[in-house]
Each structure stands twice: as structure tokens, then as C-alpha cells.
A and B are shown apart, each in its own frame.
Chain A
């Protein structure tokens, strides 16, 4: 009763307001309205009701949300336009691009508010967050006659499953690898690039003789290196299929001292140096001054980042190459880890899931759509798409190397909970305390273990495992 009254008042006021704002800024508002690509013509309050009464029409209106930079927007918009042109009278796709800031906040708000797009870009860690049992998004098995899943490696496709349901389509595989600024090594007279951590240590001595602040490999977070090490040491990923932890306190302690030793030897970037020159968050270092200037002549990064990492060096005339994966002493496993870069989902509230799947088929598998989408989202996992891009000459240089690396590297796929920010935070903050001398390796290891265990217990309860 009271609520209704409130609502009525508010709507009246809002309508008045909308009218007032239209007159107050005449040209601007209406100009924007007419330019609008299909999103309910002009005024404000009409929007909600219009959308609710729409389904009578023949044309399926679907929206597609993604984030990225201008390059990506341009490519995606071209693909959308081409798709729309080929489906006049049946499907109209509207793009909802956004920038890179506050992604989680926007997605969370829209999802909670029930206003997510029909086809949405979903960060991999959100898959289990929003669809722990496969019920958060549309069940893609329903559209397998429209979307060609056979183009994907079955094991990789599994990473898009929750509770046995194909809840998202992973776009591409991101593999963690070592990349080296070959030109910087050349300048030091090192022609044989290091293959083992011992060789890295030797190279570090050469580099630090010239500039004592050099660190051979910058890892955006201690966790990348730590899990790389622990996978090789134990042969297991960080989490089991039932989300249980695979590493013990002793394992964490080993990882901490292993990394600290290499940081002291200037192989891995020390936390102190990272904070000083990059910042406290794990970010891409492609645009970092120290990296560009050769102060970090190597990176531990996902393959998805290699294009930009290579490009900024190229601008300076330096060359980035994919290095052989170094193996630790007594390794049980000799590879690295992998995860989906980003994924696509169809909203479970979508009125046109089949048309949405048709659109996904177009941008992910269809040669025409794939060519237009290009390589703006990193590497692709669809075999058809890869063949198309390669034939089209869109895969070259460092990116070509990354594809070859992906094809041959032994990997352990990350658990869907891997990217929960709580874990990375625990690794990073406790390693930092250890390096800065606030905690012993033992205490830091215990702290990482405890924080991880607490979050795992919570996630297990949440996801019913």
C-alpha cells in the first residue's frame, strides 16, 4: 500500500522530470534518442513498459554486451552490422559495449537487477559465481543444433560447464608462459636464451652487473609463479574437482622460499620492486616504463597478453619471444597452467535463446563473422575460427608463436574457482609480509593456507560440493 503510493508519486515525479529535462536540453536529448540503435525510442518512463509488451513482433531483438577498447568495439560492431544485414526482418542485434573499468560492479549490478543482455560476455571466474549449478545462465545444450560445439576441444569445453551443464562457451585458452625480450638479451651478449632456472640465475648476474635494478622476469602476482612451481612439484592443480585444496602448508612454504630465493637472485621480480615500479595490483605490464626500457627483460603472463606485450616492445625495436618453460628440480609435471580467457553466455531470461545462439555461432565459428571479429579478444579456441584467421593472415609474429606454444605445452586446467580474488589476495599479501620481513615463511605459508581454506569452505557450501 505505502510502497505503491510511494512508487506512484515517484513515477509521476520522474515523468515530470523527464519532460522537464527534455525541454531543458531540447536538441541534445532528442538527438541522442533518434541516434539510438533500437533501444526504446526516446523518453524515459516508456522504456520499461514498452519492453514488456514487445514480443508480439516478428523480429527478435537481442542485445550483446562486451567490454574492451576501441579496436575491439570497432571489430565487434562490424560483425554485428554484417550479422544484422544478413538477418533483416528476423533478428536485430544491439551492441552494448563498455570500457574496462569496474567490470565486476557493473555486471553484478545488472545481473542482480535482472537487466543483463541476451548474449553476454562473462569473465571466467564469474561462471561459477553466477552459475554454480549451471542454472545461472541459459542451458546451452538446448541450442546445440544451432551452435557447433564440435569445433572445440572437449576437455576445454568442460571448463564452461557447471553442474554438468554447458553454461557458457569459452572463447579462447589462456596459457601461462615465459616471454623474453630477446633484444635485451642480445645487448647483454646472451645469445642462448635460458631454459632452466639455473640458467636464469646465471643470466641475472650478467644483467645486474650492468644495471643492479634489473629483474629478469616480472610476474604480475606472486601467485602465478607459486602455482606454476607447485603444479610442477606436486603434479596437481591448486584445487581438485570437488574444489578441495591440493596443496599443504609445507607446499606453500616451499613456494614462498623458492620464489624469494629467485627474487633475491634477480630472476623473479621482488614484491618491493613490483610495488615501486608497477603498483600493488596484478596488471598487464605491457605499458610499463621499466618493462619497455628493458628493466624487466621478461614476463610471466597469459598468452592472451602477449600481443600487447610484444607490440610495445616492437615500437622500440625490441623483439619478444616465447621462451621454453623452465622446469624445477624434482618436477613431477613439466608444464604450466591454462584457463579460458573469457566466455559467452546467453541470459536465462532471454526471450530469443535460439537467435542468440545463432549470433554466437556467427561470431565464434562462421568464417565471415570470425574474420570481422579478428584477434581483438586474444586467442581463439574454435578450430574453425583458428583456421579462418590463419588463412586470413591475422595470426603472425609473437601471436603465432603463442598459438604454437599453446598447441604443444602440457597444461593443467585451472579450477573455475581459481580466479576468486580472495585467493590471489592471500598469496600476494602474505608473500609481501614475508619478503618485507613481517612474517616468517612458516607463518606466511600458514596464513595463505588458512585464508584459502576458509574461502574454499565457503565456496563449497555455496556451490553445494
Chain B
């Protein structure tokens, strides 16, 4: 569409940085994944041994399954929640800034120690959650010591921190011209219908963005389980990033850890490629004319 050289000029800073700060350590890590390396002695080349061992390692395969499960649960829930709240917040409301801040607070807290302590309180045997579901005659559930329960706890934690996605949705919703809503309202369309027929199609690029980002984050999740459940009962909340961390810095097995991260990397790339391939079917860009 425009002069090629100018485009390259604009992306030049990124290109330079990428070679130095990303590709170089990347390749270095790939090299390490073919070695036995404990940080102290020089790496010794062992070919594909690390990769072969990985695919026989039930712990590793277990973490992959857990990571997948975690991703499948958190991403849709978090996105739906974030979009729903952003949609409501986009109306003219009283005390709107209070609400908006309140919803972002959990994301601000991130890995704060208070989160770890508090979440234990909420989900413990005589904790708030069990008392709450007790009202409906359910439970009490041993959240932390049953595999399903522990997974539910970290999924809930992640969904609770939906602020970043909400913020991005909010910014996108502000982009939707108000006239469209007015027109729809004149046509007698309900709010819910307007939301599905007008709003959603207009913000598909943002939905796509959030989807990709949340997927990538979920696949690399570390903080949540690390803070609250650890490996969980029967390693049910042992995620791949924790496995990598353990092998790198607890077991000093850098080669093995690097191999595991390359496997994770390839999986994430594959999933993202699939997503990009579906993009043409449901994501509408206003600049696209190809």
C-alpha cells in the first residue's frame, strides 16, 4: 500500500532489539536444550536425549495436561466476564469511576502476598466459600486437597483478575461510535440484541487480541498456583511453567528445562497459528480491503 522502505524504518528499533535481546538468548536456549548443563560445569552435548526423556516423563506430560485444562477453563471465562463488565461499565452510570477502579483492583494486586493469604482464607474448610455454598446445602468442599477443587481455586483466581482484559475491552468499546447505538435504539432493538449484533462485530479485533494474549498468558501461568496451591494434590495444579522453573532453578537441570520450554513454546505457537488462521472468518478490520 505504501512505500516499503518507510515501513522498515518505523520497525527498525524493534528489529535491532529483537536480534540482540530476543533471538540471541533464544538460540542460546535452544543450544542449551541439547546439552546436559547444570550452570556450573560446561554444557556437554547430548543430542535429543532431553527431548526423548521429556516425552517419557509422566510429570511433564501431566503438567501439559494441567496447563491445557487451565487454559481451556480460564480463557473463555475470563474473556466473557471482562467483556460483560466492560459492556456494563460503558453505560452512563453514577459513581462509574469507583466501579471501574474496583474492578481493576484485583489485577493491580497481582502477586501481592495479601492475595496468597486471603485466598487461603476464602477457600479453607471453614472459609467463606464453603459457608456460602452451605446456604444452598452444598459442601463443604476440601478445595485445596482435592484435585478438582485445587484447579477450581486457581481458575477462580485468574478469572478474578480480569482487569487487564476489561480495560482493553473498555478502550475498544469507547471506539464504537455512539450514533450506532442511537440508531439501534430507534429501531427498537434491545440492549442485549444491540450488544450481539452491533457491538461484538465491531470489536472483533480487540476480542481477538485479548484472546491471543490470554491464551499466551494462561499457557505460561506461574504466579497463581505458585502463590496459592503450589503443585496441588496429586500435582493437579502443577503447570508447565512451574515444571520448567523447578528443573532450572531447583534441580539445576538447565538443559532439561530449556527443552521443556521449547516444547511449550512450540505448542503455544501452534495454537496461535491456528487462531490466526481462523481470523479471516470472524475478525473484521476496518482497514482490510484485501
User: Is B40's beta carbon under 8 Å from chain A?
Assistant: yes
Q: Of B69-77, B88-96, B225-233, which stretch is located at the interface?
A: B225-233
Q: Is the CB of B246 within 8 A of A421?
A: yes
Separation of A425 and B57 alpha carbons in the complex (Å): 14
Q: Which of A9, A273, A421 contacts B145 (CB 8 A)?
A: A273
Q: Is the CB of A108 within 8 A of B233?
A: no
- Which residue from chain B places its CB closest to the CB of A421 in the assembled complex? B250
Chain B residues, CB < 8 A from A271: 233
Q: Is the CB of B232 within 8 A of A108?
A: no
- Which residue from chain A places its CB closest to the CB of B235 in the assembled complex? A429
Separation of A354 and B50 alpha carbons in the complex (Å): 43
Q: Is the CB of A108 within 8 A of B249?
A: yes
Q: Mark B12-28, 1 if CB is under 8 A from A, else 0.
A: 00001001100000000
User: Is B142's beta carbon under 8 Å from chain A?
Assistant: yes
User: Is B162's beta carbon under 8 Å from chain A?
Assistant: no
Q: Which of B16, B230, B234, B252 contacts A279 (CB 8 A)?
A: B230
Q: Is the CB of A279 within 8 A of B251?
A: no
User: Is B144's beta carbon under 8 Å from chain A?
Assistant: yes
Chain A contacts to B: CB under 8 angstroms:
6, 9-10, 13, 102, 104-105, 108, 111-112, 129-130, 136, 213, 271-273, 275-277, 279-281, 289, 420-422, 425, 429, 432-433, 436, 438, 462
Q: Which of A9, A129, A273 contacts B38 (CB 8 A)?
A: A129
- Shortest Cβ distance from B109 into chain A, in angstroms? 17
- Shortest Cβ distance from B241 into chain A, in angstroms? 13
Q: Mark B41-63, 1 if CB is under 8 A from A, else 0.
A: 10000000000000000000000
Chain A residues, CB < 8 A from B232: 275, 280
Q: Which of A105, A433, A462 contacts B41 (CB 8 A)?
A: A462
User: Is B272's beta carbon under 8 Å from chain A?
Assistant: no
Chain B residues, CB < 8 A from A108: 39, 249, 252
Separation of A102 and B245 alpha carbons in the complex (Å): 10
Chain A residues, CB < 8 A from B124: 276-277, 289
29 CB < 8 A contacts A-B: A6-B19, A104-B250, A104-B252, A105-B248, A108-B252, A111-B39, A111-B40, A112-B39, A112-B40, A136-B40, A271-B233, A272-B142, A275-B144, A275-B150, A275-B233, A276-B124, A277-B124, A279-B144, A279-B230, A280-B230, A281-B230, A289-B124, A421-B246, A429-B235, A432-B234, A436-B233, A436-B234, A438-B234, A462-B41
Q: Mark B116-142, 1 if CB is under 8 A from A, else 0.
A: 000000001100000000000000001
The 9 closest A-B pairs by CB, nearest first: A280-B230, A276-B145, A105-B249, A421-B250, A280-B231, A275-B145, A104-B249, A272-B145, A112-B39
Chain B residues, CB < 8 A from A111: 39-40
Chain A residues, CB < 8 A from B38: 129, 462
Chain B residues, CB < 8 A from A438: 234
Chain A residues, CB < 8 A from B16: 9, 13
Separation of A215 and B235 alpha carbons in the complex (Å): 23
Chain B residues, CB < 8 A from A421: 246, 250-251
Separation of A137 and B235 alpha carbons in the complex (Å): 37
- Which residue from chain A places its CB closest to the CB of B232 in the assembled complex? A280
- Shortest Cβ distance from B45 into chain A, in angstroms? 16
- Which residue from chain B places its CB closest to the CB of A113 in the assembled complex? B39
Report which residue of A136, A280, A289, A422 has the largest number of chain B beta carbons within 10 angstroms of its beta carbon.
Answer: A280
Separation of A154 and B16 alpha carbons in the complex (Å): 58
Separation of A429 and B246 alpha carbons in the complex (Å): 14
Chain B residues, CB < 8 A from A104: 249-250, 252
Separation of A310 and B232 alpha carbons in the complex (Å): 28
Given A271-B233, A432-B233, 9 further pairs, Cβ under 8 A: A13-B16, A102-B249, A108-B249, A129-B40, A273-B145, A276-B125, A289-B124, A421-B251, A462-B38
Q: Is the CB of B142 within 8 A of A129?
A: no
- Shortest Cβ distance from B239 into chain A, in angstroms? 13
- Which residue from chain A places its CB closest to the CB of B238 in the assembled complex? A280
Q: Is the CB of B229 within 8 A of A279?
A: yes
Separation of A275 and B232 alpha carbons in the complex (Å): 7
Chain A residues, CB < 8 A from B248: 105
- Which residue from chain B places its CB closest to the CB of A283 in the assembled complex? B230
Separation of A420 and B248 alpha carbons in the complex (Å): 13
- Shortest Cβ distance from A317 into chain B, in angstroms? 23
Q: Is the CB of B40 within 8 A of A130?
A: yes
Chain B residues, CB < 8 A from A422: 251
Separation of A281 and B124 alpha carbons in the complex (Å): 17
- Knowing A273-B145, A462-B41, the reply to whether A280 touches B229 (Cβ < 8 A) is yes
- Which residue from chain B places its CB closest to the CB of A108 in the assembled complex? B39
Chain B residues, CB < 8 A from A129: 38, 40, 252
Separation of A104 and B257 alpha carbons in the complex (Å): 15
Report which residue of B233, B246, B251 has the largest number of chain A beta carbons within 10 angstroms of its beta carbon.
Answer: B233
Report which residue of A6, A104, A213, A275 has the largest number of chain B beta carbons within 10 angstroms of its beta carbon.
Answer: A275
- Knowing A129-B252, A421-B251, the reply to whether A280 touches B41 (Cβ < 8 A) is no
- Knowing A111-B39, A129-B40, A462-B38, the reply to whether A6 touches B20 (Cβ < 8 A) is yes
- Which residue from chain B places its CB closest to the CB of A429 in the assembled complex? B235
Chain B residues, CB < 8 A from A279: 144, 229-230
Separation of A102 and B111 alpha carbons in the complex (Å): 14
Chain A residues, CB < 8 A from B143: 276
Separation of A13 and B252 alpha carbons in the complex (Å): 34
- Shortest Cβ distance from A248 into chain B, in angstroms? 24
- Shortest Cβ distance from A114 into chain B, in angstroms? 12
Q: Which of B40, B233, B249, B252 contacts A280 (CB 8 A)?
A: B233
- Which residue from chain B places its CB closest to the CB of A290 in the assembled complex? B124
Q: Which of B19, B145, B234 contacts A433 (CB 8 A)?
A: B234
